[in-house]
Structure formats: C-alpha cells, structure tokens
Amino acid sequence: MTDLHVAIIMDGNGRWATAKGQPRNWGHRQGIESVRSVVRAGPGLGIRTLTLYAFSSDNWKRPPAEVSVLMKLLRTYLKTEIDELRKNGVRLKVVGRRDRLSPTLVKAIEHAERQTAQGDRLELRLAVDYSSRDLLLQAVRAAAAASDIDRRDLSALLGEAMNGDGRAPDVDLLIRTGGERRLSDFLLWECAYAELHFTPTMWPDFRGHDLQAALHDFSVRDRRFGEVAAAS
Ligand code: FPP
C-alpha cells in the first residue's frame, strides 16, 4: 500500500484526562505526543497524506479557556516541530478558515508552511477552524459562477476554499479514536469511498503501532467503489 490518504478524528482527550482525575486540558496536551507518534510512523506505513482534525468550527462553542489552550497548543506545536518535520520530509499545511484565528497563530501557520514546503515524504494537513459543510458551501458558491463543472472541478474549488493547494484528495481510511462513531463534519466530500475505522482507544493513548493496526485492518478490506467483486 502506497500513497494513502489517512484522516484522523482525534477524539477522547477530555474523557481520558477526566478518567485520570486531571483537567481536560491535560488530555489535549498529552494528545500532542500521539500526534508526534503518528506523524513519525506515517511515511513508513505507506501514508502520503495525513489529515488530522485539530479544531472544528463547532469547537468555538467550547468554554473560552479550553479554546484558548487548544489555540496555544497549536501555536506551540507549529513553533517547536518545524525542525523535526523538515528533517523527516514532512510538508505541513493547515486547512480551514483563517479569518477567525489570532494574527499570531496565522503568522505561525504561514511560517511553518513556508519552512516545511520542501517536504516530499508526507503531507501533514492540520484541519483548524474546519467545517466540511461550510467549505462545500463556499465551493458550491464559487462553482455557481462557472458553467458546466464536473466532480474534479468541484474538488479543486473545495481545495481552494480550505486554503489548501487546490486539492481535496480522496480519503482512503478515516480513523476516529475515542469510541464514538460519527463524522462530525469532517471531509464529507473526500470520504465518499473512505473505509471507516473506529477504535475505543482514547487519542492520548493512540500511537504509531495503533495506526499500523488500523492500516492492517484496512489492507484486508475489499474496496469495490460500487462495482462487483472481481471473479476469482
Ligand atoms: C477531541 O477530544 C480533541 C480535540 C477537540 C482537539 C484535538 C487536539 C489535539 C490532539 C492537540 C492539538 C493538536 C495539534 C495538532 C497541535 P475531546 O476534547 O472532544 O475529548 P472528549 O470527547 O473526551 O471530550
């Protein structure tokens, strides 16, 4: 398996911390170690694109103190990981809205994207202030101005809407940690034929070997894309 696009809904930080008698934010902090672990493991497992759901547009509804910690963690991650990302050939891209982020965070994002632009082993896409429905709406509005557009065109418009590089690559495998089984407004267009993998493991406990296990499960799935199974 090569050139895979894996997307992860990193859920369960809060419950993981609460179960240990700690504040929820402690779970978010520990979640960074899981991010490091999967980013390191990704290229060796055939992953070319890894999209992580770091902050949904609906997450603004959380208590301001928690939102503030999440934003700070993101900024710290972008600052402290650049060297390691560069060393490992990782190109970082932040997808989602930027107009509601603080100017300092936007600067950190742009800096990290510039510094890692040469990475050619893994594209790490962090979804921040991300809503798939909002982006689809934006792409559809742009499409209305054009005539006779096809799926590929809409995909490109979606890639542009998310501040990406004009690409909205199909997801091969979507993983959600934390035991819930829903998509939560994440990559709705791109997941049209994604295989889904739900695990009860809470995000702060998830590591490269869990990603490997999920990919093993994926490798034995029969992906037919609506066709009939090939005759044996
Ligand atoms: C869901 O757990 C997780 C989030 C809303 C944030 C994910 C963020 C991180 C892992 C840290 C920052 C990421 C990067 C890339 C720097 P939850 O709080 O909804 O958990 P719960 O369902 O147990 O309440």
pTM of the model: 0.96
How many other C-beta atoms are found inside a 10 Å radius of the C-beta of residue 68? Answer: 13
- Residue 53 alpha carbon, nearest atom of ligand 1: 7
The answer to whether residue 92 is domain-embedded is yes
The CATH number covering residue 116 comes to 3.40.1180.10
Q: How many domains, in total, are found in the chain?
A: 1
The answer to whether residue 13 is domain-embedded is yes
- Rounded Cα distance between 29 and 165, Å, is 29
The answer to whether residue 159 is domain-embedded is no
Average pLDDT over residues 176-202: 97
Range of the domain at 55: 4-130+173-219
The answer to whether residue 16 is domain-embedded is yes
From 11, 60, 180, mutation site for ligand 1 pocket: most ligand atoms within 8 A of C-beta: 11
Average pLDDT over residues 63-89: 97
> What is the pLDDT, as a whole number, of residue 147?
79
Residue 59 falls in the annotated catalytic set: yes
What percentage of the chain reaches a pLDDT higher than 90? 88
> What is the pLDDT, as a whole number, of residue 228?
84
Using CA positions, which residue lies closest to atom 16 of ligand 1? 74
Q: Is 170 exposed, middle or buried (0-12, 13-18, 19+ CB in 10 A)?
A: middle
- Look over the chain and give the mean of its residue pLDDT values, rounded to a whole number: 95
The answer to whether residue 140 is domain-embedded is no
pLDDT for 232 beyond 60 = no
Residue 83 falls in the annotated catalytic set: no
